[in-house]
Structure 1
Amino acid sequence: MTSTLALIRDGRRTLRQGPDALAHRQRERLAAMIDFARTHSPYYRELYRTLPERVEDPALLPVTRKQNLMARFDDWVTDPEVTIDRVRAFVADPRRAGERFLGRYLVTTTSGTTGHRGLFLLDDRAAAVVRALSLRAVRHTLTPVVTARLLAHRMRSAHIVATGGHLAAYTVIVRSRAAGRLSARGSRGLSVHSPLPELVDQLNLYRPVFLAGYATVIALLAGEQEAGGIGIAPTTMSLPAQGPNDRPHRKIRSAL
């Protein structure tokens, strides 16, 4: 099993070797993933049957859509023990959010607002890659001053997400707590469905130094901050799932 730290170190080594080494690593990993998919997934074996034996250019890959993947779920996944019926039975119980499916997969779902709910599984390596990429994305934000403040406040964080069920953000929080990467005392999961006054009261009481949530909700809270309803000063913010356009982004930056 590859650790997040090992992936970060490997990425740094590759970057130090220059653009050619980075491009080579990208081609090698893409070719390996396509070869794995062809070998273990009947769906991808069929989809890629006309492609060259070795593929290093993502532009050659045919487009896949969530609707098609869900319709061919049992043929799409690369583990024959994973079936759509077993996964649906697993996610039907919201109490199992963050629990390992078959002892080795983290299961997440999409909301289904497009008319097609997605079911996705991550093994330990995939989860480590996600964490490594997330840490790399915030490397310029976590300056020594910011890091010192976060540590001084024991990384006190609030995550405003759709709680309950197996939606990705909530499931990751639950799993991170179970794995010891998030402290139950040092983090709060707040429901995005809570009335705005209730969210304001909870944030004022908890006073997080790290705040994460959907951009639309954070923009509403920024308005409350400007009106004097919130008295928090987060050091760092994360806006998963939704990217703000220029206007909410400016509002959030100025208010919070």
Structure 2
Amino acid sequence: MLKQRVITAVVLLLLALPALLASHPGPFALFSAVLLAAAGWEWSRLNLPSTKGAYATGGLMALGCAALWWAGWPVSGLAPLWWLALTLWVLGGAWVLKGGVPGWSTAPAGLRWLLGVLLLWLAWLALNQSKAAGVNHLLSILCLVWVADVAAYFGGRAFGRRKLAPAISPGKSWEGVWSGVAAVLVLAGAWIVFDRSGLADGPSLYTSLQTRWGLTGLVMVCVFLTAMSVVGDLFESLVKRAAGVKDSSRLLPGHGGVLDRIDALLPVFPIAMALGSL
């Protein structure tokens, strides 16, 4: 299993790096659209019974990304969409998690499908607009989610006592969440120091937040974004439990599916863009 995980991670890294470092935004938009199309395929499989519908959803995701790219949306001012995403994730996420697996299972399948497609498109737009702001900005948000996840895992294993959501994800604990928050705050401070070195291609999310809102605002947003990464993770876990599966697919050997890897990113990117637009 470890060998599979390493090989898959290396292959993904080799595919992502040229797209990430390309001066033209097209390669990264294409790479991220392929991932989102795969995630759309997985989402449909988790929520609709039709196999043909899953492939159609993947194609629809790809066509939608192409249409949005052609319209110039990834580099446009899209603040209203980011606030729509924030509302959906905060209010909708609270409602879904409160209802649990039974509540999700009884919701109309078409509504569940539509919600997933909308959230995936919003995440793709936010991802590419962040890339347009600079690789440093994009990486600062990616690393926020990754560091929060890793710290939560090890913090939960070392100190975990109080379960966060045992009916949805028994392994998560409140101690793990706070470990993730602490790690993100350390990351933010270190990244601001790096930004001051002048080596970055533009300001990171953390420098932008500190400049606009000061230290207190930076801390509050980091805590909020870390919390929303947990919501994204729990949301996908809930959907998988409702579908009776462990992974969203087997597209990524050793890792599960694309949704398993990007679930925490889906709320964080558009919400970070929303708060950064203030």
Asked if Structure 1 and Structure 2 have the same fold, meaning a TM-score greater than 0.5 normalized by the shorter chain, the answer is no
Bigger share in helix: 2
Please say which structure displays the higher CA radius of gyration.
1
Higher relative contact order, chain-length normalized (CA < 8 Å, sep 6+) = 2
Bigger share in strand: 1
TM-score, normalised to structure 2, is 0.28
TM-score, normalised to structure 1, is 0.30
